[in-house]
Structures are given as C-alpha cells and as structure tokens.
Amino acid sequence: MSKIHVLERTDKTYRLVLHAPVPGASNAALFTWKSVLIKLGLTGKVSEAMDEGTGPGEITAAENALLLSGDVIEFTHSLLVHPGVTELAQLEADIDQFLAEKQDEIVAKYDQYGRVI
C-alpha cells in the first residue's frame, strides 16, 4: 500500500494524500482503535480525496479496500517545501512526523471514547 500520494507541488508546498495503518490496540475504554475510528467516520469508507483506478492521482482497488475495512486511515495534508534540502528525504521525514502527531492527537482525543460510567 502506498503511504504517500502526491497530488501537486507548487514552489512552496506539496499537496498530499497520506495513508497510515490503524493501530491494532484498544483505547482506555477497551474498544479497538479500528472500531472507534470507524464509528467516528474517520475510516471504514473509500477514499474521499482520490478516485479509484490505476492511473496518476488515483487509488488502487486494493488500497481502497484497506480504507473500507478500517485497517488504514487517510489524511490530506500540505507540506512546505524546504529549499536546499534533499526533497524526498525531507518530505518523508516531515510526513512521518505529521503521522506521528496525528496518531498522538487521535489517542489524546478519543482514548476515553465509548466509556460508560
């Protein structure tokens, strides 16, 4: 599965669609992250950013199936271009940082989701 789909690049930014695996663990309320994110509508659906196909700017049927199953989550994101830096290496480092931050944000926001007291 592709982690990075580049939709466009300007002089200053990349516009990207990113795919990341949904954690296999559970939140503090003992619901799997997959079930939580599907219930919230954050995954469990086909790509909203790309059409399905095998051409440029399209998502494959296999990738869409992973999104639909809830095993993968999709983000759209714009990254600044760093002048004078090896672009691919910097792009991947920035994306890894962004995905780690998004995962931390989701855990912080939904760790108690579904708890009944």
Share of the chain above pLDDT 70, in %: 95
Share of the chain above pLDDT 90, in %: 69
Residue 11 pLDDT = 80
pLDDT in tens, 86-101: 667 777 888 899 999 9
Residue 1 pLDDT = 63
Parse the chain into domains and list their residue ranges.
4-110
pLDDT in tens, 51-85: 999 999 899 999 999 999 999 999 999 988 776 66
Spatial separation of the C-alpha atoms in residues 107 and 73, rounded to whole Å? 14
Residue 61 pLDDT = 95
Element (H, E) at 56: none
Contact criterion met (CB below 8 Å) for 79 and 16: yes
